[in-house]
Amino acid sequence: MSLNSNQPTATESYKRKFMKRGKPEEQNSLVFYPFYPLKPTTIYTMNCFTNIIGIDTLIEQAEKTMTFSIYTIRNNQTKQTTSIAIEFLRIEETSTISVIFDLLHRPLQTSPIFFIIHCLLLHIFKPEKRCFIWNDDQQQDLYALVSHQYLSRFILESMNIIQLQQPFKHWYNKTIPHNKDCFVPTTSTNDFNYCICQYCRYKCINDAWSLPRALHYTFNEFIYTTDEEFVNIPLDIQYSVICCMTLTKLFVAIQLNWTQEQLDQCKRMHEHCLRWG
């Protein structure tokens, strides 16, 4: 059964094989590959069309999970948050769960599905849990859950939300040293406008990394969506889920303090998987 049916017990798994349909890209003699997740994920969509049968199992999984990655989508014209993707991170599992909260097709507040979605969010947004998000703009987007009465402002602001943009910048500058012929000392962890290193995307200390750029320069990967006829998953949902998994991948590298050697090993493994399946 396809994702479009919105059956929470029968959605498709967004497996790594779908990532491999993309072709490598070359830029400045460097090869970039389509995003490759640490684990496959199963996608669930929450909106007015969702069948409530089976969501109790999803709520149980949310209750057991202590760490989440969150990525939001905002309409560029209206500036309204249109969807929120949340990935459940459980180290002991071989795959993850990704839930898309569709804010454009919300159920009536008097409907059973609205109450179920509300309960699901309450099991995610607890103060003892951790939610990783990229930056402050993304965090502000979460207030759409308050506007649509899925959550109270108190619950949202009690949550342990951790922004990764600045920790990533510090980790990247510490992990990827400057070239010997660069004007910046190899031991420096700051950005400088006279840096000549090819892999230093930003040269000003106030520059902020975007999530796609962070993926690009850390893993030599780019965010790639697959034609819907191959995976039966809408492109906007694919994009949200991949960004969520990108956040997870960067979080793991920062949390485990991966070295340049470990990053190179990860890139070689990805290249091998793409070539040999």
CA distances from 226 to 75, 238, 273 (A): 22, 8, 18
- Rounded mean pLDDT of 77-101? 94
How does residue 178 score in pLDDT terms, banded at 50, 70 and 90?
A: low
Assign residue 268 the CATH number of its domain. Answer: 3.30.420
Question: In Å, how far from its chain's centre is CA 78?
Answer: 23
Alpha helices in 21-98 (DSSP H): 55-64
Average pLDDT over residues 174-182: 70
How far is it, in rounded angstroms, from Cα 17 to Cα 24? 15
Rounded mean pLDDT of the chain? 82
Q: What pLDDT score does 277 carry? A: 58
37-69 pLDDT, tens digit each: 999 999 999 999 999 888 999 999 999 999 999
Q: What is the count of structural domains for the chain?
A: 1
pTM above 0.75, yes or no: yes
Q: How many Å apart are CA 169 and CA 205, to the nearest integer?
A: 10
* pLDDT greater at residue 261 or residue 178: 261
Residue 151 has pLDDT above 80, yes or no: yes
Query: Taking 70 as the threshold, does the pLDDT of residue 1 lie above it?
Result: no
Structural domain harbouring 202: 3-276
